[in-house]
Structure 1
Amino acid sequence: MGSEEQPRASLDFAESSVLEAIAPATSKVDIEEAFNSWDGTVEDEGASILPFVKQRHVLLFDELLPVYVVFRTPLLENEVLKSYLDRLAVSLDVFAFGTTPGPDQEAKALPKELICSETIKDTNEPTIVLHESGDAKHAYVFWKVEVAIARPQGRFHKPAIYFQPTASLKPDVTAKQNVSHNDYLPSRVPPALNLLQSFEHDPALAGIHPRLSAMRISKIAPSAPLAREMVRPIKTGQRPLFRAVPPLMWRTRFAKVHTSLADLSLMVSLDIEVAQYTSYNVRIKTVDLLLHGGDIKALTTVNTVATSSPGDQLSYLYKATPDLGPDGTPALGSQGHILTLNIEADILVSDGCQPHVAIQWKTAVDFASEQQSNLIKAAHRLSSASHAGSIKSPDSLPAQDTDEPNAPNDAINVTLTISGPPSVQVGELFHWGVFIVNRSDKIRRLAVMVIPKRKRDAHRPQPSASSIGGHSAEKKELLATAVLDENIIYGRQKGAKTEPTELVCLTTDIRLGQLAPGSCYTADLKFIALSAGVQSVESVRVIDLATNETADVRDLPSIVAVEKQPEGIET
């Protein structure tokens, strides 16, 4: 009999209770103290369940609004009321919609948007107030929830906001435990249908009576007393509409800094305007700009403690510099650098109402367009082509330029022993033996190549008069200084002489797979001398393919080439 009374009491509790959300007009309100001065009279039948609490008329976007979810129920014993509150699931949804249709909308279809949803957790302890007024005895339970009034994604004409609290009773755990779990042979319950009853008189079974209960393959539905508890949710009270306006508006503008091509910095101008139609003064506390994947520096200082009037505009100036990748372009691409704006302010609505506004806005910043990125990459390759360690392609070796200083000989920590014949004949192939030992403590992937000897040109062009003083010699630019005097280039091309080749290396390069620490390798370099005399090469360059570190060996064997004597002639 107790199991029948429990669902009935739960239904009475749900039908006689009311749930409502209230936004007080003052920032700090003591509802318990306000109950003591309330005589329980309600002037309007459709008024709020707390008519003595004055509510806001206008809400602000980006506001952190304290909202009270109030639950009114008939007065019960403390233990009974606490058992019901433990089973109560309460949530609060905040919706925004347009009160009037826009120019391109129909009057019948006014969309709404969910801008916030909060679930009251068990850790949020409610405040319970018992109130008696004549024959009316009620228990008021209210929770305080901090709601962020976010800006809707859609564009609404004359937006408004309303709160929709919902509550329902969860199934009683004690009622579930009292239900009998003897599903095999329940008392005074007819047995389930035997699915194998038609085979009972089969002569092949020789007197065996097979039985398969239908309960073994059918789904058991929950009992009716537990299911009825969730049929009716708790009804809600009035749902007032609040007009919503943005208190602050901002605009960001970006401008390129007129410096060298390597500097991708942008000047960021931030303008914050206090909305004039709100007629509220604003006290801005903090204004911060953060750049993900770069650095941002404030160039102006604005007093954020002073109070701003409606229509005032505050301007801030920043310099944003992105992190650069190996090729000189922004490290995170065109969409990876995120600019985050954080604004905190107090809106001075009245002496007792000063809502706190917290704004967080993000946008992607493109520091270099596609055309500019291609130009930067090309300029970076041209400026770093003379550096031996700048080429990262695994299928190519660093440029053969001996004018640049090389890495120290101990950077790779590999020893080379080169041996060759004392003399060679012109036009015949000869070999150099290269013995390589890895003296480092890690595996090396090496390449060996021969740098031919170059003819030194004593004449070096001087910069023209029009370019002297235009660029500082100490400042390292991404691009070289432009040559403005074409006569020097024309004179060098016209007076150039073709030098004959005296020594040719037939081995382009030698590549080693993986040379373990302490191991050695032997290779051959093939040469052919084309003229008699003492021949030489510039150096033998060793390159680490993993790190592109280079080292040149210049202490090489001498090559003495002699003319081949005709047969039959003795010297």
Structure 2
Amino acid sequence: MASSPGAPKTRSSAEFVESSVLEAIVPAKSDVNVEEELRSWNGTVEDESGSILPTISQRTVLLLDEQLSVHVVFRTPLLDDAILRSYLARLVLNLEAYAFSTGPPPEGEPKAGPTKELIFSTTIKDTEQPSVVRHGEGEGAQTFVMWKVEAFIARPQGRFHKPAVYFQPMASFKPASTPKRVDPEDEYLPSRVPTALNLLQAFENDPALTGVHPRLSAMRINKIAPSATSVVKEMVRPIRSGQRPLFRVLPSLIWRVRYARVHASLSDLSLLVSLDLEVASYATYDVRIKKVDLTLHGGEVTPFANIHDPQAVHKPGDQITYLYKIRPDVGADGTPALGDKGHYLTMTVSAQVLMSPTCHPNISIDWKTPVDFTSATEQSASMLKTAHRLSTPPTAQAPSPDGLPAYDTQPPVPNDTTPNTINMTLTISGPPTVTVGDTFTWTVFITNRSPQPRNLAVLVIPRRNRHSDKPHHHPRPSTAPSTTAAAPAPAEKHLLAAAVVDENVVYAQQKSARTETADLVCLTTDIRLGPLASGACYTADVEFLALGTGVLGVESVRVVDLGTNQSVDVREVPGVICVAKEV
């Protein structure tokens, strides 16, 4: 019995594959109903090589960072519902988007590079239920199966001149059942297969082997691996794809982030962030910015009083600035908790582009960049040294030649000053408390304020023993015979003094002398630097070992000019409190 016109026919899988077409469509309207548009189509086709849905107009321009709805349309001749569902269950659908250049690169730029780049890829899962629409009657009746896929137009990593994007849907038809292949337990010695050639057969009659029959199978040398092409792969059939329209791609928003140091306390490592969003002028589309958000990994972000109106429409060329204050998490030592590479600033922007009265695509920007707070830490350390130097009150009297004047309190250099005068600024900083037996470090910051380069040496002078000149016992009176010498003539000059011959005086001096141990030992003998240019600075570390408890210090820090051998002692040096170790 012949089937009636328009009734679904029973087709084999081969006919189903050969007569089906797959195509990706991007409608020009944001809220288009593809099913209603398809039902209202009269079936007229003006161009046989055009789209399988000619009644739906498509977009010509796409935007970077756009959340796009792509309709994957599968067209096949009219089939019975049960057969159609069984065939659709065997379909494997993929959708990919590629970016490539549509023009040659500018002059001077290398032409080498990738021809295209994959920016989006997804697989349509079996759980996603498609829309099925039957259209037409008689021999021209067809079935349209449509899937709606949310694609993201990511920014390509490569540089493409006049970039464009195209979508490539791919579908393959799996077999109804997977044949089972019985693998032998031992692939080297399968059953019912002749044994391989014996490579040592020529040595069987060797009298030196005394009856031993050596054997080496050729399969042990050249393994014959089983074929990797399975029967399933041979039976998978691809489905023909329709046209692939090209879409120009443009950015709608351009952003820039700038950082500035916050003028606050020295221990505050916060940075001022300026986020500039600019509406691209060459896109010629208005933009409505819905949301702008900044987050810091390993810290906190505080927005300023930015007036953000999500309903405001920004014209091409407009620039919107947002201000934020970012502060990292600080460790026990006052430095950023995650170091110089652990803090990341993430920017999230949601906006809507008004391309036409019926097309309002949405864009979503998720951008991340590292933030280095260690430069702020180094700057804070330098400012701490400057504050320590400025906090020393200047003396009203004339400066002592034993100390260097501070930077702000030093009088201007007169014109008749000799070039050999040492004109330096010395700042010393160190820990306030240390433990007995531990080493610690002083940081010496030297600035050359003289108009000429200097070769310098820095030495640490230990504290003097002030009890050596105060004997505890009075010397006994001398009992040695004294010798009286004749008075010399007035014209006679003695080059050497008279020797001390009284042993009582020498004995008393040695007995009364006190021997004291050093409480603070400098492990750095000297620091030599230079030539240090005019206006340049240098930072050096001086290491000490604490051996006693209490308030320890040194006598002075001596700066020696190696060119002129002039020296000056800095006596206002910091002290350190040394405590005993806890048991």
Q: TM-score, normalised by structure 2?
A: 0.58
Deviation at 1:164, TM superposition (A): 0.8
1:97 is matched with 100
Question: Aligned pair 1:171/2:171, yes or no?
Answer: no
2:281 is matched with 276
Compare 145-154 and 30-39 and name the one that shifted more: 30-39
Report if aligned partners of 2:41, 2:55 keep a CA contact under 8 Å in 1.
Answer: yes
**Residues 249 and 397 (structure 1), Cα distance of their counterparts in 2 relative to 1, 3 Å cut:** closer
Question: Aligned pair 1:135/2:119, yes or no?
Answer: no
2:47 is matched with 44
1:145 is matched with 149
- Cα distance in 2 for residues equivalent to 1:79 and 1:41: 29
Residue in structure 1 matching 2:302, options 297, 313, 320: 297
Partner SS state of residue 319, structure 1: strand
Partner SS state of residue 19, structure 1: strand
* 1:296-333 Cα distance to aligned partner (Å, 9 max, x none): 21123223321212222111111222222333332223
Question: Aligned pair 1:356/2:359, yes or no?
Answer: no
* 1:463-501 Cα distance to aligned partner (Å, 9 max, x none): xxxxxxxxxxxxxxxxxxxxxxxxxxx99969xxxxxxx
Deviation at 1:84, TM superposition (A): 1.9
Question: Aligned pair 1:316/2:322, yes or no?
Answer: yes
Partner SS state of residue 307, structure 1: coil
1:117 is matched with 121
Partner SS state of residue 85, structure 1: helix
Deviation at 1:220, TM superposition (A): 5.6
Partner SS state of residue 125, structure 2: coil
- Cα distance in 2 for residues equivalent to 1:285 and 1:368: 34
- Cα distance in 2 for residues equivalent to 1:365 and 1:74: 59
2:69 is matched with 66
Compare 307-316 and 317-326 and name the one that shifted more: 317-326
2:212 is matched with none
- Cα distance in 2 for residues equivalent to 1:396 and 1:282: 62
Question: Aligned pair 1:17/2:20, yes or no?
Answer: yes
Question: Aligned pair 1:288/2:386, yes or no?
Answer: no
- Cα distance in 1 for residues equivalent to 2:302 and 2:322: 11
Residue in structure 1 matching 2:581, options 538, 543, 555: 543
**Residues 377 and 11 (structure 1), Cα distance of their counterparts in 2 relative to 1, 3 Å cut:** farther
- Cα distance in 1 for residues equivalent to 2:34 and 2:432: 76
Partner SS state of residue 24, structure 1: coil
1:475 is matched with none
Question: Aligned pair 1:31/2:34, yes or no?
Answer: yes
In structure 1, list runs of 5 or more residues that go unmatched. Answer: 1-7, 185-189, 203-211, 400-425, 430-447, 456-489, 495-538, 546-571
Deviation at 1:225, TM superposition (A): 6.8
Amino acid aligned to 1:543? K
1:372 is matched with 379
- Cα distance in 1 for residues equivalent to 2:156 and 2:105: 16
Report if aligned partners of 2:276, 2:320 keep a CA contact under 8 Å in 1.
Answer: yes
Question: Aligned pair 1:451/2:549, yes or no?
Answer: yes
Deviation at 1:295, TM superposition (A): 2.0
* 1:258-305 Cα distance to aligned partner (Å, 9 max, x none): 344333222211111112222222111111111112222112322332
Report if aligned partners of 2:549, 2:580 keep a CA contact under 8 Å in 1.
Answer: no
Report if aligned partners of 1:166, 1:234 keep a CA contact under 8 Å in 2.
Answer: yes
Deviation at 1:246, TM superposition (A): 0.7
Partner SS state of residue 243, structure 2: coil
**Residues 540 and 191 (structure 1), Cα distance of their counterparts in 2 relative to 1, 3 Å cut:** closer
Report if aligned partners of 1:98, 1:111 keep a CA contact under 8 Å in 2.
Answer: yes
Map 1:235-254 onto structure 2 (within 5 A).
Answer: 235-254=240-259
Deviation at 1:159, TM superposition (A): 1.1
Residue in structure 1 matching 2:271, options 262, 266, 270: 266
1:155 is matched with 159
Amino acid aligned to 2:581? I
Report if aligned partners of 2:276, 2:319 keep a CA contact under 8 Å in 1.
Answer: yes
**Residues 368 and 135 (structure 1), Cα distance of their counterparts in 2 relative to 1, 3 Å cut:** same
- Cα distance in 2 for residues equivalent to 1:222 and 1:264: 60
Amino acid aligned to 1:346? Q
**Residues 76 and 268 (structure 1), Cα distance of their counterparts in 2 relative to 1, 3 Å cut:** same
Deviation at 1:219, TM superposition (A): 5.5
Report if aligned partners of 1:14, 1:233 keep a CA contact under 8 Å in 2.
Answer: yes
**Residues 380 and 49 (structure 1), Cα distance of their counterparts in 2 relative to 1, 3 Å cut:** farther
- Cα distance in 1 for residues equivalent to 2:289 and 2:551: 71
* 1:151-190 Cα distance to aligned partner (Å, 9 max, x none): 1112221111100111112333x3526x8x6989xxxxx9
Percent identity (aligned)? 47
Partner SS state of residue 238, structure 2: coil
Q: TM-score, normalised by structure 1?
A: 0.60
- Cα distance in 1 for residues equivalent to 2:144 and 2:285: 34
1:79 is matched with 82
Partner SS state of residue 308, structure 1: coil
* 1:136-165 Cα distance to aligned partner (Å, 9 max, x none): 122211111110111111222111110011
Amino acid aligned to 1:33? E
Compare 287-296 and 124-133 and name the one that shifted more: 124-133
Partner SS state of residue 179, structure 2: helix
1:331 is matched with 337
Report if aligned partners of 1:274, 1:282 keep a CA contact under 8 Å in 2.
Answer: yes
Partner SS state of residue 84, structure 2: helix
Partner SS state of residue 156, structure 2: coil
Deviation at 1:352, TM superposition (A): 2.2
Report if aligned partners of 1:10, 1:229 keep a CA contact under 8 Å in 2.
Answer: no
Map 1:163-562 onto structure 2 (within 5 A).
Answer: 163-172=167-176, 174=177, 176=179, 192-193=193-194, 226-230=232-236, 232-305=237-310, 306-369=312-375, 372=379, 375=382, 387-388=432-433, 395-396=438-439, 451=549, 543-544=581-582
Partner SS state of residue 341, structure 2: coil
**Residues 130 and 295 (structure 1), Cα distance of their counterparts in 2 relative to 1, 3 Å cut:** same
